[in-house]
Amino acid sequence: MKIIMLGAPGAGKGTQAKMIAEQYKIPHVSTGDIFRANIKNGTELGKEAKKYMDEGKLVPDELTVRILLDRVAQSDCKDGYVLDGFPRTIPQAEVLDAELKKLGDQVDVAINVDVPDENIVGRMSGRRACLKCGATYHIQALPPKQEGICDHCGSELVLRDDDKPETVKKRLEVYHQQTQPLIEYYSGKKILQTVDGTQDAKDVFAAIERIL
């Protein structure tokens, strides 16, 4: 079962990807994690990617797909995987499809976690993070026991720049321009499934389970 997760930043697709991976015993493959692992381990692909990153350039689609295919060729992916954070654009999806086809393989389902922009802005601007231990909270959905203080280490909680309404709105603009067209792309391939991401995470997962 090869699954791609789609959805705007803050829609909760990462959370759902982890739940799918746990339930179906398949790896949760995040492109950010793969890049970091390759760079940390000093692989040839990692060295190549690092050259672009050190120059402040985007890693080319072909190299990103090569790093991704190297990961999904590992034995723990033999029963499938759930991709989170890739593809982000139509060209990336086309390169991925072409490379998988060469291997006699293909994506089985693309799951779109659909959440309106205004919900996402509210959701993300309510997030609070502990910069010391990495714990995260939400002022409504998951508040700390003491307002503004981390339950785990007692440090002050902050609203990260990434979660500020103006930043979230900019990220959503980029998403609508670059990534949303993937919804039409996978719909055209008859493998798109959409779930209502405004529900509680458990209800969203129940809807995904019905699809799978």
Catalytic residue among 18, 66, 88, 164: 88
- Mark whether 160 is an active-site residue: yes
- Mark whether 128 is an active-site residue: no
Q: How far is CA 46 from the centre of its chain?
A: 20
How many C-beta atoms lie closer than 10 Å to residue 22's C-beta?
10
The token pair at 147 is: 């307002």
CB 1 within 8 A of CB 108: yes
- Mark whether 88 is an active-site residue: yes
Q: Round to whole Å and give the CA distance between 87 and 5.
A: 9
Catalytic residue among 2, 123, 127, 128: 127
List the 28-30 sheet strands across, edge first: 28-30, 81-84, 2-6, 109-114, 192-196
Cα dihedral 198→201→202→205 (10° resolution) = 80
Q: How far is CA 20 from each of CA 4, 28, 69, 143, rounded to the nearest angstrom?
A: 11, 8, 20, 25
Catalytic residue among 18, 66, 164, 171: 171
Residues 6+ away with beta carbon under 8 Å from 158:
128, 129, 130, 131
Catalytic residue among 13, 71, 123, 128: 13
Catalytic residue among 160, 169, 170, 189: 160
Tracing tokens 């654009």 back to the chain, one arrives at 89
Which residues are known catalytic residues?
13, 88, 127, 160, 171
